Amino acid sequence: MSRARFGYGTNGFGNHRLPEALRVIADLGYEGVALTLDTNHLDPFAPDLARRTADVAADLERLGLAVVIETGARYLLDPWHKHSPTFMHDDPELRLDYLRRAVDIGAELGAEAVSFWAGTAPSGIDDVWDRLVRGCAAIVEHATARGVTLGFEPEPGMLVEDLAGWRRLHADLGEPAAFGLTLDIGHCRCLEPLPVPESVIEAGPYLVNVQIDDMRRGVHEHLEFGEGEIDFPPVLAALDTTGYRGLVAVELPRHSHAGPAVAARSLEFLRKAAG
């Protein structure tokens, strides 16, 4: 039997207030939550952040939920442009501010990891990789000072989209202890050349955060379990083999319209897959 600790992402509860989403996730039997800091869920730029963070900490404690912090908010920083700015833009300060705030919130909530990604490189810029490394180095420095673990996620279509890209970035940063790996299981099916369980084993030494969903080869679309091509029992067995004991959080950001029902089906599926 797999020893995975299953969580659910709040980006799949976008139509719920955060306290209600946490309560549903806990009542369904999940052990943790992947909390995306966004306009409607602990907005890091709204007033009275310290009090609101303390309220979330109290909710997590009362409900017995572990937490990881996700930073995939689409329009939090720019109402016109999805996921902008990135580290590669001419003025990355707003992205840096967002991630520093995410680290600070993670420290206050006792988060197991704070997850982020590269973003899509703007056109016409020659030094995008150097800009990415500088931005990541700044966040690593802040996270190290706060005692927070970072999980960098390779994301299809972004500057770092696979495990090979993560390894290059990790090396260029000097392999800092605070810079771990967030692995989306669906992305392994979407992009990685190895079978999914083998990709999991390869990623194992660096894993600090795992997202889980179904996908098909070559298609970056988060699917409910059973709608894609992944055989999950070997994947969960591979996670056990790595010794990973962090959260394995369901990542279905386009399913908020049916959040409670999808979350219930997902946990039932994963428990069966875990044996």
Q: What is the CATH number of domain 5-273?
A: 3.20.20.150
Region 114-118 average pLDDT: 98
Give the range among 140-154, 177-191, 241-255 with minimum mean pLDDT: 177-191
**pLDDT exceeds 80 at position 92:** yes
Residue that the structure tokens 């098909």 belong to: 216
The answer on pLDDT for 104 being more than 90 is yes
Q: Which two tokens stand for residue 191?
A: 């992009």
Count the Cβ atoms, other than its own, within 10 Å of residue 120: 17
Query: Over 80: is that where the pLDDT of 219 sits?
Result: no
Query: What CA–CA distance (Å, rounded) separates 192 from 210?
Result: 16
Report the chain's terminal Cα–Cα distance, integer Å. Answer: 5
Lowest mean pLDDT among 51-55, 73-77, 195-199, 262-266: 195-199
The mean pLDDT of 219-243, rounded to a whole number, is 88
Tokens coding 67? 């937490």
The answer to whether residue 194 scores a pLDDT higher than 80 is: no
What digits encode the pLDDT tens for the residues 137-171? 999 999 999 999 999 999 989 999 999 999 999 99
SS3 235: helix
Q: Is residue 122 helix, strand or coil? A: coil
pLDDT of residue 224: 84
Domain extent listing, the chain: 5-273
Q: What is the pLDDT of residues 5-46, one digit of tens each?
A: 999 999 999 999 999 999 999 999 999 999 999 999 999 999
How high is the pLDDT of residue 272?
Answer: 96
Band of the pLDDT at 193, cuts 50, 70, 90? confident
* pLDDT reported for residue 62: 98
- Report d(CA 179, CA 140) in Å as an integer: 7
For residue 275, what are its two tokens?
């044996």
Tokens 């967030």, residue located = 182
**DSSP summary character for residue 81:** S
Closest-CA residue to 236 (of 271, 189, 188, 268): 271
Q: Report the chain's mean pLDDT, rounded to a whole number.
A: 94
Q: Is the pLDDT of residue 2 over 80?
A: no
Compute CA distances 174 → 67, 136, 152, 169, 179, whole Å: 27, 11, 15, 9, 10
Is residue 22 within 8 Å of residue 12, measured between CB atoms? no
- Measured CA to CA in angstroms, residue 157 lies from 10, 120, 140, 261 at distances of 23, 7, 23, 30
Average pLDDT of span 168-189: 94
4-8, 78-82, 101-105, 219-223: segment of lowest average pLDDT? 219-223
Mean pLDDT of 168-187: 96
Express as a percent the part of the chain with pLDDT over 70: 99
The Cα angle at residue 262 between residues 256 and 265, in degrees rounded to 5: 170
Cα–Cα distance, 172 to 160 (Å, whole number): 13
Question: From CA 255, how far away is CA 262, in angstroms rounded?
Answer: 7
- The alpha-carbon radius of gyration of the chain (Å, integer) is 17
Predicted confidence at residue 164, as pLDDT, reads: 93
The residue-averaged pLDDT of 61-86 equals: 97
Q: Which two tokens stand for residue 206?
A: 């660096």
